[in-house]
Chains A and B, each alone.
Chain A
């Protein structure tokens, strides 16, 4: 009894003498990757006693970024948060992000060259253009991209699996369409499960932007927003996608959840989706609920090059001017950030680590099933145009939903859709000025 009391008292004093720095952490990770982030935060809290992180998960997309922005204006922000690289143009321009100096990075044991160069370069480009700064506004956590999920069992039966265990007919748009036709007639399954409903512009954008970039299309010409390529390669990409629908290779008006369910229930041969669905398949296989063998490959090179849409989750510090964080808080936040970016647990969410020592480590290279796609996918990364009208929770989403999606669902002709899409984006670009 006495001993317990002494322990309690001693515990009380030691706790108060070394009061831990409290960090609030906001993220938007609701899926399989969210579970892994919670695990990382828990492990971090257990690994040391100086810093205690409390995590809150908020709704992905617009609600998250609106809350961060209002938080910054009212001076009530978290100490650290997740952020999309594709939202940096909006966030830096709107002064929501606090620059992180190289000294601060160094104190946390990090340097810019620790991270995938393409991500750092894009980040610095945005810093310079919208923040008049040569500092980073966030630390890269990962790269996420779209990959091609395939039903190995079905492809094998249809004779469409190559000797390398990968699908055949993925070297051009024409060959791809032909292969999908064969897959359809031989397996009687839906060729591609895809989210095609207008409430999910992101899925449509990722596929279209990939095909557009693979044909060397770009929105930026001489540092200016340009629609010349959109009218040309952009229209061709949309036409190819609309043809998939016409031939019944993808389902019309399908929700995101249904698309994932169609593939995981073995009712489709392929699924084009983000690498964040990897944990869904891994978990289903583990619990023996998957009726087929699946494979994953980096998005195939269907046109001139293998560029594939990608984005990067970053860890950032809000630019709280009203109640600026103390240097101790900033140091603690960066210490936490430095811990998180080094955890392979995060790759369990299908993401590719941006931290190079981890990305190049043997243990990551051997990680299953990530090793089926990650090496190629990391090379194919093509980021969103660095303008505030693009990216997660940007105005471009309603233009995509209103014009690209109806064309994909065969409700309006692709060329007409592209014209209206351009006009809408132009309107948004003007409103932003």
Chain B
């Protein structure tokens, strides 16, 4: 018996209408909550609006001011520093933890859960715990090690401390991605290499590394975009201090928009960050693709 396939007989336009219907719910939200506010932000950046209400159109005035704003460029540098401290370390640590977990025969799920659990916690919980663990007067770290550093209040250590907390908090997700990647490498390759007498290190260097590279690229790009958007941890741990040493771009935007009540200027800062992230992501992706082609 022939099953009548209605779809096959429908005209192409009808098919497209069906497709559109499926995409529509997403599209509505996408336009309403991303595209429309995005366009509004672009317009806002060309005005002298305060945080609410309409302002006067001032052309590129905000961007001109931004070019000479030392605090803004400082915040770009600090964001870059944070990205440097988190992206590669977070990826490497995630990779090594994943290697460790897949080798475990017993307690594998328990160990995996232990690495992944912090990721489940809300940022406020993570930072509150970190503040007390690293407190200069009462913190367990300083009292166990005898170190006398106020981690979040020392201009030298504040950013690395924020980065360390961030890595502890988010590395679990990278571990998961890497485990999935490692398990998708066919076991036969290793067996064949072992038969040929390849040592453990060579198997790692010539099988694991190249085959895990696509996952690594993915993790690196995701990390880069994520870490450029650093705000929560800094807002909760240091408020940009001490002395603006952890003032990152989004926190500076928040200060300008919500503290100084300058919505237009805040929008201009946000737009510049969008440009920076886009450029960085494209460059990184190109570099990674090129290096992959080379291997």
Contact = CB atoms under 8 A, between A and B. Distances in A.
Given A197-B242, A199-B238, A199-B241, A254 B136 contact: yes
Contacts of B244: 402
B40 interface: no
A112 to B, nearest CB: 30
A261 B138 contact: yes
Given A255-B153, A258-B135, A258-B136, A393 B243 contact: no
Contacts of B89: none
15 contacts: A251-B136, A251-B137, A252-B150, A252-B153, A253-B136, A253-B242, A255-B131, A255-B135, A395-B259, A398-B259, A401-B240, A406-B242, A411-B155, A411-B243, A431-B262
A37 to B, nearest CB: 23
Contacts of B240: 199, 401
B165 to A, nearest CB: 15
Among the interface residues B53, B155, B241, which one has the most CB atoms of the partner chain A within 10 A?
Answer: B241
| Across the A-B interface, the 6 shortest Cβ-Cβ residue pairs | A198-B241, A253-B153, A253-B150, A73-B52, A199-B239, A198-B242
Contacts of B154: 253
A261 B241 contact: no
Given A62-B259, A198-B153, A252-B150, A69 B241 contact: no
Contacts of A251: 136-137
Contacts of A261: 137-138
Given A398-B259, A406-B243, A69 B153 contact: no
B258 interface: yes
A198 B150 contact: no
A398 B258 CA distance: 12
A87 B258 CA distance: 14
A416 B154 CA distance: 20
A66 interface: yes
Interface in B131-158: 131, 135-138, 150, 152-155
A211 interface: no
Nearest to A409: B242
Contact of A254 (B131, B150, B259): B150
Nearest to B235: A199
Contacts of A62: 258-259
B51 interface: yes
Contacts of A241: none
Interface in A397-433: 397-398, 401-402, 405-406, 409, 411, 428, 431
B255 interface: yes
Given A261-B137, A428-B260, A254 B52 contact: no
A95 to B, nearest CB: 10
B137 A198 contact: no
Contacts of B135: 255, 258
B61 to A, nearest CB: 13
A94 B261 CA distance: 10
A405 B154 CA distance: 12
A70 interface: yes
Contacts of B259: 62, 393-395, 397-398
A296 to B, nearest CB: 22
A381 interface: no
Contacts of A409: 242
Interface residues of B, number: 26
A207 interface: no
Contact of B243 (A254, A394, A405): A405
A267 B131 CA distance: 20
Contacts of A428: 260
A405 to B, nearest CB: 7
B51 A66 contact: yes
Contacts of A70: 51-52
Interface string A256-268: 0010011000010
B22 to A, nearest CB: 34
A34 B231 CA distance: 28
A401 B243 contact: yes
A155 B2 CA distance: 99
Contacts of A94: 261
A393 B258 CA distance: 9
B131 A405 contact: no
Contacts of B261: 69, 94
Nearest to B149: A253
A73 B239 contact: no
Interface in B254-270: 255, 258-262
Interface string A69-111: 1100110000000000000000000100000000000000000
Among the interface residues A199, A262, A393, which one has the most CB atoms of the partner chain B within 10 A?
Answer: A199
Given A70-B51, A253-B150, 4 more contacts: A69-B51, A73-B53, A199-B240, A253-B153
Contacts of A405: 241-243
A401 B241 contact: yes
A289 to B, nearest CB: 15
Interface in A43-87: 62, 66, 69-70, 73-74
Contacts of B262: 431
B77 to A, nearest CB: 16
A409 B243 CA distance: 11
A107 to B, nearest CB: 32
Nearest to A196: B153
A38 B240 CA distance: 33
B137 A258 contact: yes
Contacts of A406: 242-243
B129 to A, nearest CB: 13
Nearest to A66: B258
Interface in A274-299: none
Interface string B171-204: 0000000000000000000000000000000000
Contacts of B242: 197-198, 253, 405-406, 409
B53 A262 contact: no
Contacts of A267: 137
Interface in B229-259: 238-244, 255, 258-259
A191 to B, nearest CB: 15
B79 to A, nearest CB: 18
Contacts of A395: 259-260
Nearest to A198: B241
B252 to A, nearest CB: 10
Nearest to B50: A94
A2 to B, nearest CB: 52
